[in-house]
Amino acid sequence: MQISVEGKLIEAAAGVSCAEVLKQALSGKRFKAALACRVRTADTEELLDLSAEVPAGALELAPVTAEEPEGLQLLRHSTSHVMAAAVQKLFPGVKVTIGPSIDSGFYYDFDAPRPFSPDDLEAIEKQMRAIIAENVPFERSVMNKADAVALFRDKGENYKVEIIEGIDADTVSLYRCGDFLDLCRGPHIPATGAVKAFKLLSVAGAYWRGDEKNPMLSRIYGTAFPDEKALKDYLAAIEEAKRRDHRRLGKELGLFSFHEDVAPGMSFWLPKGMMLRTILEDFLVREHLKRGYELVRGPQILRRELWERSGHYDHYRENMYFTEIEGDVHGVKPMNCVGHMLMYGETLHSYRDLPVRMFELGVVHRHEKSGTLHGLLRVRQFTQDDAHIICAIDQLEEEIINVMHLSADLMDLFGFKYRIFISTRPEDSIGSDEAWERATSALIKAVEKEGKPYQINEGDGAFYGPKIDIKVTDAIGREWQLSTIQVDFTLPERFDLVYVGQDGERHRPVMVHRAILGSLERFIGVLTEHYAGAFPAWLAPVQARIVNVTDSQMDYVKEMKSRLAAAGLRVETDLRNEKLGFKIREAQMAKIPYVLVVGDREVADGGFSVRLRSGENIGFRSVEEVIAMVRTESEEPFKRGGMSYSFA
């Protein structure tokens, strides 16, 4: 048979391996870079081991290298097998469970007599290097399911037995790497020598299958890259991420704290953090009022019957908290949409009233497993910048576009680049096929009308409707999901929402669920890391700190604080009996934009010696110049989006 490889036609005999075909068509360097083979037939495309036999009907073969996303994933998964082989060699009796590749690398979960510690990683890495140096081949075999169960049961690998018994197939595939045998679909790299650069990163605990009722396992995280430079760059990025960790910065800057012993998954907002949050919330309220939203607020708990009616009880109750009041079960709200629909339904609306846009900085609670909680980024109690737009169907596209514009304006304000994803119907959902098709079509048309590129994220919509997800990239290249825009034909039907049309008849509106920043807690966590705690002047909890040289300037410092505060600046003083250099350094460590130094000369001249948090000394400035400087810097980011900043 003839097979195409990168434009070359190769004659291949029956039973020939993928490697043999690729070798005929590729240069030596290109062939050596291949980790696996992509095989295309008339109907299918799949990845195979290089050692695999070319399947009948193959039309095209292509090498898969570590420079491609699929190849990098394959390399990392194979490295997890090398790690597991090293662990079992060093720690006899350890049982293996699963070891997938993930976005940033890989992990493997082990049932060990004692949990692994960071001190174990060096020894495991050393053993991995020995296995890599031996260039041990990965060998695939296929076994009858019952025989595989017996094999792993004899080995005492009860987790593998459980996995195999849950597979709906007569046979399973296994991969051997030296003495290590694992259940795996594959494919894998040809041999361990293809692992060029790797690092074990951390250890953690993880429940088997993510269930708290199951045994706690010991998880080892690692990563692998095609070369040492890529690995070095990644490790440098990890160190930068640690430097920016919002949990550390939140404590150092006095923004927020956590008390996991009494309130796991909930944050405590300290004065400076509460100031930052209030500035952000005030801005959001003003911006929404300008764009035609009305402010509302609903209760925290609602009777269970309401959550049954909305579908949350059937599709979301594992994420909800419930309480009983006088024999009635109430659900603590995980979302604000139900309350907004009740408020809309209190009045019979005309088509002239539409769209109705309700905005709420709504506090919600969602049950997250303790192992997933992570500072402000994954919490159980949070506030959403939540809004629901109830409109006629012919208004839907314009409303989606308006929300996209608001999101784009805010992402630009904070300096985020972003990508758009359209998430479609999940398996666990409510509503008719027709409603889902109309909703999905409306989202796609709106995005395409704006000329925005997008990707389809199959099956990741909300249970009641498809959505646009906007993912932003922060200052060090990490991606975060923030804005979401969801179109919902189903809940208006369930809550019998209507409006009176021009024809005098009652019609069913459509609802847009949307959040721009999402969870304010999570957004502030992301923002803290994005700015490394150095918030722009408009958002900084303290915009200026006045420091004195000696006690003789104390009265002047207090007078200047009052004057700057009266002008709308957020200012504090440092009057401690400490060396001036120490006080300046502390202000810079606190990420305060302006340090205003006052000595006898500054008192005499009526101003300040101004230093920036970068350490730059910009010299003497009058009080009026300082006020103008802070105002100008605070207002500048808003000019791009036609927004305004208020010092009120």
| Confidence category of residue 326, pLDDT binned at 50, 70, 90 | very high
In order of start, what are the domains of the chain with their CATH numbers? 2-65 (3.10.20), 70-243 (3.30.980.10), 256-530 (3.30.930.10), 544-639 (3.40.50.800)
Query: Residue 508 — left, alpha, or beta (φ > 0 → left; ψ -120 to 50 → alpha)?
Result: beta
Residue 12 has a pLDDT of 80
User: At CA 492, angle to CA 490 and CA 493, rounded to 5?
Assistant: 65
CA 221 to chain centre: 18
Enumerate the β-bridge partners of residue 362: 384
Residue 338 has a pLDDT of 95
pLDDT at residue 648 tops 60: no
Instruction: State the chain's maximal CA–CA distance in angstroms.
Output: 95
Element (H, E) at 106: strand 105-111
Span 229-287, pLDDT tens digits: 999 999 999 999 999 999 999 999 999 999 999 999 999 999 999 999 999 999 999 99
| Confidence category of residue 42, pLDDT binned at 50, 70, 90 | confident
Looking at every residue in the chain, the average pLDDT score rounds to 94
Q: Which long-range contacts (CB under 8 A, 24 or more apart) does 129-133 make?
A: 130/86, 131/82, 131/85, 131/86, 131/177, 131/178, 131/192, 132/82, 132/192, 132/193, 132/195, 133/193
Q: Let me know if 386 is a catalytic residue.
A: yes
Span 188-208, pLDDT tens digits: 999 999 999 999 999 999 889
Q: Which of the residue ranges 185-194, 208-217, 340-349, 629-638 would you say has the lowest mean pLDDT?
A: 208-217
Residue 644 has a pLDDT of 73
Q: Let me know if 18 is a catalytic residue.
A: no
Q: Let me know if 73 is a catalytic residue.
A: no
The residue that leads in pLDDT, 193 or 211, is: 193
Structure tokens given for 300: 């925290």
Q: Let me know if 384 is a catalytic residue.
A: yes
Catalytic residue (choose from 188, 246, 365, 467): 467
Catalytic residue (choose from 49, 109, 120, 386): 386
Q: Let me know if 337 is a catalytic residue.
A: yes
| CA–CA separation, 176 and 101 (whole Å) | 18
Burial 26-36 (b: 16+ CB within 10 A, else e): beeeeeebbbb
Dihedral of the alpha carbons of 574, 577, 578, 581, in degrees to the nearest 10: 60
Residues in the chain: 648
Residue 635 has a pLDDT of 92
| Confidence category of residue 418, pLDDT binned at 50, 70, 90 | very high
Span 506-544, pLDDT tens digits: 999 999 999 999 999 999 999 999 999 999 999 999 999
How confident is the model over 41-69, as a mean pLDDT? 91
Q: Which of the residue ranges 117-126, 365-374, 600-609, 637-646 would you say has the lowest mean pLDDT?
A: 637-646
Quote the crossing angle between the two packed helices 433-449 and 396-413, to the nearest 10°.
Answer: 50
Query: Residue 177 — left, alpha, or beta (φ > 0 → left; ψ -120 to 50 → alpha)?
Result: beta
Catalytic residue (choose from 18, 177, 337, 391): 337
Residue 647 has a pLDDT of 61
Residue 6 has a pLDDT of 84
Catalytic residue (choose from 73, 88, 127, 384): 384
Nearest to 633 by CA among 569, 546, 573, 584: 569
Q: Under DSSP, is residue 65 helix (H, G, I), strand (E, B) or coil?
A: strand
pTM: 0.84
Give 555's DSSP letter: H
Q: Cβ neighbours of residue 545 under 8 Å, at least 6 residues apart?
A: 571, 572, 573, 574, 587, 590, 592, 594, 595, 596
pLDDT at residue 7 tops 90: no
| CA–CA separation, 43 and 45 (whole Å) | 7
Alpha helices (H) along 47-102:
69-90
Span 492-502, pLDDT tens digits: 999 999 999 99
| Dihedral sign computed on CA atoms, order 118, 122, 124, 128 | positive
Catalytic residue (choose from 388, 561, 583, 631): 388
Catalytic residue (choose from 246, 513, 611, 621): 513
Span 91-110, pLDDT tens digits: 998 999 999 999 889 999 99
Nearest to 476 by CA among 265, 300, 245: 245
Catalytic residue (choose from 23, 199, 366, 561): 366
Element (H, E) at 281: helix 271-290
Q: Which of the residue ranges 262-266, 363-367, 408-412, 431-435 would you say has the lowest mean pLDDT?
A: 431-435
Residue 643 has a pLDDT of 78
**Phi first, then psi: what are they for 557, rounded to 5°?**
-60, -45
Burial 149-166 (b: 16+ CB within 10 A, else e): bebbeeeebebbbebbee
| Confidence category of residue 28, pLDDT binned at 50, 70, 90 | confident
Task: Give the sheet arrangement for strand 349-350, strand by strand.
Answer: 349-350, 499-500, 506-507
Span 367-404, pLDDT tens digits: 998 878 899 999 999 999 999 999 999 999 999 999 99
pLDDT at residue 336 tops 70: yes
